[in-house]
């Protein structure tokens, strides 16, 4: 567990290992949600850019399909075939 100190201005600074764990770098933003029982949820804020999205669905477990293969799979799905 990491302990942070609140400054006189009511601010806290996250330690380097916490920022690395979140995957945030200088200039990035984080979102904080207020949870029940005086708890917080902290996570990196997505940039929302297309660059951040590209490749986000890529998985080594998913095969790479051509457009023709995708179309064929959709047609089979609508026809009730597997």
Band (pLDDT 50/70/90 cuts) for residue 80 is confident
- For every residue of 63-81, DSSP letters joined together read PP--HHHHHHHHHHHHTT-
Q: Where are the domains of the chain?
A: 1-47
pLDDT in tens, 13-60: 999 999 999 889 888 889 999 999 999 999 998 766 777 677 777 777
Q: How far apart are CA 77 and CA 72, in angstroms?
A: 9
Q: CATH for 1-47, among 3.20.20.70, 2.10.260.10, 3.90.1310.10, 3.40.50.2300?
A: 2.10.260.10
Q: Please tell me the predicted confidence (pLDDT) of residue 69.
A: 92
* 33 contact partners, CB below 8 Å, separation of at least 6: 40, 41
> For the whole model, what pTM was predicted?
0.50
3-state secondary structure of 17: helix
């Amino acid at each position: 567990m990491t302990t942070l100190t609140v400054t006189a201005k009511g601010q806290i600074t996250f330690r380097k290992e916490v920022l690395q764990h979140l995957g945030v770098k200088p200039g990035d933003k984080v979102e904080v949600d207020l949870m029940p029982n005086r708890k917080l949820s902290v996570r990196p804020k997505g940039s929302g850019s297309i660059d951040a999205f590209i490749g986000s669905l890529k998985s080594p477990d998913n095969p790479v399909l051509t457009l023709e293969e995708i179309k064929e799979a959709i047609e089979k799905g609508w026809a009730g075939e597997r």
